[in-house]
Amino acid sequence: MSEGTKGPIVYEFARQRVTLCKEGLPDRTVWLVLKRTVGAAPSYAYAISNAPASTPLSTLVWLSGLRWAVEQGFEESKTELGMAHYEVRKYAGWHHHMLTTMLAHFFLWHLKLRLGKKSPSPYRVAAAHDLRGRLTPTEIYE
């Protein structure tokens, strides 16, 4: 179940072990996960997972819901933290930029959860009165 623009959306899931082929020969066995909306005009989505054969369907369903959160994190990192603004020529530089951006996003997300709503200041940082008495040094560095 997820939130849609017109209310909750209910899904049905199924899974099947399938063998992928490469150049006409069997390659590897994976899960084919099928997701369908419940209703008069169902829509379908498919995904392939390399999870072990012992993985329960409930785990695959849970993982299918995480994709949105990951995509949202990337989008926020691009727009708010400059993930897409890099000028590097080598993989090591690109990897460093991406890692630093994602760590900054996680830090800000964690801070937002701890502090609550934004300050009325134009810089959108937590106001001093919001911090007073709410966090101890040990909580900040946990």
Could you tell me what percent of the chain has a pLDDT over 90? 27
Model pLDDT, residue 63: 84
String of DSSP letters for the chain: -EEETTEEE-EEEEEEEEEEEETTEEEEEEEEEEEEE-SSS--EEEEEE---TT--HHHHHHHHHHHHHHHHHHHHHHHHH-TT----SSHHHHHHHHHHHHHHHHHHHHHHHHH-SPPSSTT----HHHHTTT--HHHHT-
Mean pLDDT for the chain?
78
Give the tens place of pLDDT for each residue, 79-130: 778 777 777 788 888 888 888 888 888 888 888 888 876 555 554 544 444 4
Least confident of 14-28, 72-86, 117-131: 117-131
| pLDDT category of residue 139 using cuts at 50, 70 and 90 | low
Among 93, 115, 94, 112, residue whose Cα is nearest residue 104: 112
> What does the alpha-carbon distance between residue 49 and residue 59 come to, in Å, rounded to a whole number?
11
Q: Which residue has the higher pLDDT, 6 or 136?
A: 6
